Each structure stands twice: as C-alpha cells, then as structure tokens.
Amino acid sequence: MVFGCEERAPGGGGRRVYLVCHPNVFWRCDVQKQPEHRCTYEVIRQGVPCKLYLDLEFDRTLNADRDGDAMVDLFIRMIAAAVDHLFQIKCTRRDVVDLCASSNKKFSRHLIFNSKGLVFKDNNHVGNLVKDICGAVKACLLHNRMEDLTRLGLQEFSKDELNTLRVTSSSEHSLFCDECVYTKNRNFRVYKSSKFGKRRPLVKSVHNQYTPHQCSKASRDPRDISSEEAFFLDSLVSYIECDPEPLVHHGRSDAAAPTRPLTAVPPGDCVDGGGGSCSPYLEIDRFVRDLVAPGGVRRWTYFADSERVVYDIVGYRFCQNVGRWHRSNNIIVVVNVREASFYQKCHDPACQGFRSDERALPGRLLPWRRLDEWDGDEADY
C-alpha cells in the first residue's frame, strides 16, 4: 500500500513524503514514533477495491444544539438500511470501525465499514452511494420529495429524524457528512495519527463496538498480531486481506469519453449464445456477471450493426424503474459497445418501455481505445 507521511521540512514548515510498504511493516515502524510525529495518511488509490468509509464533522461552536453521537448512530442505521436494500448485505454497528478526533470546537468522526461482502469496486462507487443518500435527505428536507428515499430503502426515516443531520457551517446549511472525500488517490488519516502540527489523533471512539477478527485465509499466523495491529489493519479503507466477494458497484464510474472500438463481428451479423459461453467481448461479460451477482447471464445476443450486447439476466431482479426487486421477472442489461456505456431494461409488463439512464463502462474494459489512439510510436506503449 501507499502511505503519505507529514513531517517537518529542513528550514521549517512541513512537507508530505510517500512510502510503499506492507501495512504490517508500516504499523510496526509507525508505532515506534513519538505521538506528535505520527502524522500519517492512507492513500486510497484510484481504481482499487475498498470499504465503505465516512468522514463526519461539524463546527460545535455553530451547532451547540446538535448531538453528534446520536447523529452518527442515525447515519449508520441509514447506511445499513440502504446497503441491505440495494445490495442485500447486512450491516450492524459491530461491523463499523468508529474513530474519533473531536475537540471542544470541532466534532470529527471517521467510520469504516467491515461488513462481509461490502467491498466496493473503488472509492468512486462509495462516493456515489454516499452522495445519493445525502442527496435524498436534502431533497426530502428542502423539497419534501420522498421518492429518492424510497429508492434507497430509507422510507422508514422520518423528516424530523433527517433534519437532525443538518448542520450550520460558516457559509451555508448542509449535512454533517463530508461528500468530498471520494476523489482519486485520496489521503485519509489513519488510526492514531494527528494532522501536522496538532496533537489530536484519531483514536477509538467511546462508542466503538468493533473488535478485529482475523481472516481465515490469511497466510500469516494471527497469533503474531497484537489486537492493536489487527484493529489498525481493519481500519484501513483499501486493505482487503481476505479474497473479496463480488465487488459492489453503485452509480457511474469515472471514465474518459469513449472512442469508437474495433468491431469484433462483421457488420450485419447477429451472434448469440448461452450464459455459459462468451460474447465477442470477454471483459464486458465478466463485468456484467459481477454487476448482477449473485445472479448470472442466461443468454447474450450481439448486434454488430449497432454494436450492442444484450444480456438476459437470471437470478437478479432489481429494477431501477421501481427501485426494488420484481417478484418474478428478471431484467436485461444492454451494453452499447460503440459508446462504451450500459443501461437496464426489464421483462416485467409494468416496466414496458422503461430504459434506465446510461452509465459509462470502466475504462479497463475498453482495450481497443488504446489501439485506436496509437500513432505508431511503440515506445509510448
């Protein structure tokens, strides 16, 4: 992993240096530092699988009437409800690493979710989920719009409850969840570290209920790890020690504007096959199977004229039109290879004619783009 360390620069001031090492090695070096010199950040790299994480904070001097602990509990329950509704993954308070760096002036908590199976494709997808939830809360409070809450499985939470999540900052009213911590290569402060020049480390909150557990697939002997080191490892956002379950996707991926791909099948041809076979685009097949897990692909059909692959899905019936699973009818995933995007359609008569918004395919699925852009200089590739 990559860690960023803030330190004093020669001649005064501060600087950030980066190091690459295994988290076990890093921990055993970091704990030997004096507390005031422990100013370290995990680099959540672009495109790397990661856990769901939150940065919750507000200015206490401007929000004396706010109960931060109750707000954290409410937000955890909301996250758990949304995760259960969208991904059928159970989450409780005991799955959440709860870190605190609060002071008399500022309320500050970091939460890292360690629920089994809740591993996202990358922090962009985590951000999509968190922003959707915050957006639904704001739509309810500002415009009395409830449909977004229902779509996310949050209809049980009252408007009065949601209003407790609002805080006053120096310039505006907003929620206490920071929605800006999901950018690429984000530096996220680690357990027992302080910001440079301050002595307010992230420590276990008094409300933390999480206890570390060692993965049965770990190659090393768990007895060699102290409870503090195990807690540190579980608090890292992008350190996934166990083999991850199928990765969770939510919302649009960051992808550059697509270019026209190479055609895998001569124009005018239509090719199809069962779910056990592969379409002309093997990487896209895998992406769709991961997208609909634990379901699968019953049949695919490739239309060369329009460069589309139509996947008939089995065992996965979540429909974006109704915001829930259909009782019996499955969905269809349509991939527009030419535009490097995909969308969902539905077999259910109630959703006849429905087509979801198009979302971009991850860039790693588009190897032809580099061939299209190649200018003949082999040194560039």
Residue bearing the bigger pLDDT, 23 or 216 = 23
Instruction: Write down the pLDDT at residue 242.
Output: 67
Question: Which DSSP category does 172 fall into?
Answer: -
* Confidence bin at 367 (pLDDT 50/70/90): low
DSSP strands (E only) in the chain: 2-8, 14-20, 40-44, 50-51, 53-59, 96-100, 106-113, 119-120, 166-168, 173-175, 186-189, 203-204, 270-274, 296-303, 308-314, 318-319, 324-325, 331-336, 341-346, 359-360
CA distance 294 to 302: 23
Enumerate the domain spans of the chain: 2-235, 270-371
What is the mean pLDDT of the segment spanning 253-261? Answer: 40
Is the pLDDT score of 267 beyond 70? no
Amino acid at 373: E
Q: Is the pLDDT of residue 283 over 90?
A: no
Q: Give the residue-averaged pLDDT of 353-372.
A: 75
- Over 60: is that where the pLDDT of 353 sits? yes
pLDDT at 316: 86
In sequence order, what DSSP letters do the residues of 57-111 get, joined into one string?
EEETTT-TT--HHHHHHHHHHHHHHHHHHHH-----GGGEEEEE---SSEEEEEE
* The pLDDT of residue 359: 92
Q: Is the pLDDT reported for residue 252 higher than 80?
A: no
The torsion angles phi and psi of 49, rounded to 5 degrees, stand at -55, 145
Whether 172 shows a pLDDT value over 50: the answer reads yes
In 3-state terms, what secondary structure has residue 349? Answer: helix
Q: What's the angle, vertex CA 120, arms to CA 214 and CA 45, rounded to 5?
A: 90
pLDDT band at 260; cut points 50, 70, 90? very low
**What is the per-residue pLDDT across 70-126, written as a single tens digit (0 to 9) for each?**
999 999 999 999 999 999 999 999 999 999 999 999 999 999 999 988 999 999 999
CA angle 262, 284, 130 (to 5 degrees): 125
Tokens of 43: 């680099």
DSSP state, residue 340? T
Mean pLDDT of the 159-184 span: 87
Instruction: Name the pLDDT band for 175 (thresholds 50, 70, 90).
Output: very high
257-281 mean pLDDT: 52
C-alpha closest to that of 246 among 284, 214, 288? 288
How far apart are the C-alpha atoms of 291 and 297, rounded to whole Å? 10
Averaged pLDDT for residues 335-362:
89
Backbone angles phi, psi at 371, to 5 degrees: -70, -40
Residue 376's pLDDT band (cuts 50, 70, 90): very low
| pLDDT at 32 (0 to 100) | 87
53 - beta bridge partners?
112
Tokens standing for residue 381: 């590739």
pLDDT at 234: 94
State pLDDT tens for residues 1-20: 999 998 888 877 778 889 99
Question: How high is the pLDDT of residue 180?
Answer: 87
- Answer whether residue 219 shows pLDDT above 90: no
- The SS3 of residue 138 is helix
Residue 368 has a pLDDT of 55
Q: Is the pLDDT of residue 373 over 70?
A: no
Mean pLDDT of 190-206: 90
Distance CA 52, CA 238 (A): 9
Average pLDDT, the chain: 83
Q: Which of 97-111, 278-292, 310-324, 358-372 has the lowest mean pLDDT?
A: 358-372
Total-model pTM: 0.65
pLDDT exceeds 90 at position 298: no
